[in-house]
Amino acid sequence: MVFKATIDGQKVLTGCITSKERVGYPLYTEAKVKISESSLATAVWMLSEDSTQEIDNLEAYGDKINTAYGQRLHLSHHVFIRNPFQYYQPTGWEETYY
């Protein structure tokens, strides 16, 4: 399957795939990805059933101005609890891949 983003006036039209079935451990994922030159993220990630945790298998930004994230693949685990609001994501470069 191929998704190709297009620009329509002031809108960027993109795509996404999601599964209807829940997956469990152990899990194997594979993706062939071409990073866009947009400042939008090109990403492959998994979201918990309650939407409070996210695992970024790959998150990258092709924005040529954004030199830090534009040159690295981001890999991490986020936690975001809505009520009361709590957020955690690693802050160092150890979760990036050059």
One of 21, 30, 37, 59 is an active-site residue; which one? Answer: 59
One of 21, 49, 54, 95 is an active-site residue; which one? Answer: 54
49 is catalytic: no
What is the C-alpha to C-alpha distance for residues 78 and 87, in angstroms, rounded to an integer?
7
Q: What is the DSSP letter of 22?
A: -
Judge whether 63 and 41 are in contact, CB under 8 Å.
Answer: no
94 is catalytic: no
As annotated, the active-site residues are: 54, 59
